[in-house]
Structure 1
């Protein structure tokens, strides 16, 4: 089974645009993106969008958690 390219939408505006496309193992699992001393959490709710020639699932930001030390 291969990973899916997904588009991260929302969350901190400082996340670079080139890092907004990430890989996810499934469309039902949330994506945790490490950003500074936190994880930004994104989920897919069925939306898709065109990015260049590709149609990608949209993962929207839901919350931030601190990285445990």
Structure 2
């Protein structure tokens, strides 16, 4: 059974900075989010932040990749 949990995205395109996303089990180090014609990549930091009464792990923006055509 997969358990969902939340994380906070920091940095990257303005649309993602400060966004809370749902994570599934097994996602502990990196997150890849489809965006426009590519993917935004976020890496887990050692930081956590309090958001709406929950301590959430922080994933910071690392880089962007484009989808091959």
Shorter-normalised TM-score: what interval?
Answer: 0.7 to 0.9
TM-score scaled to structure 2, two decimals?
A: 0.80
Gaps of 5+ in 2: none
TM-score scaled to structure 1, two decimals?
A: 0.80
State the partner residue of 2:9: 8
RMSD: 1.9
Aligned residues: 66
Gaps of 5+ in 1: none
| Equivalences for residues 1-69 of structure 1 within 5 A | 1-13=2-14, 15=15, 20-24=19-23, 25=25, 26-28=27-29, 30-69=30-69
- Between structures 1 and 2, the one with greater helix share: 1
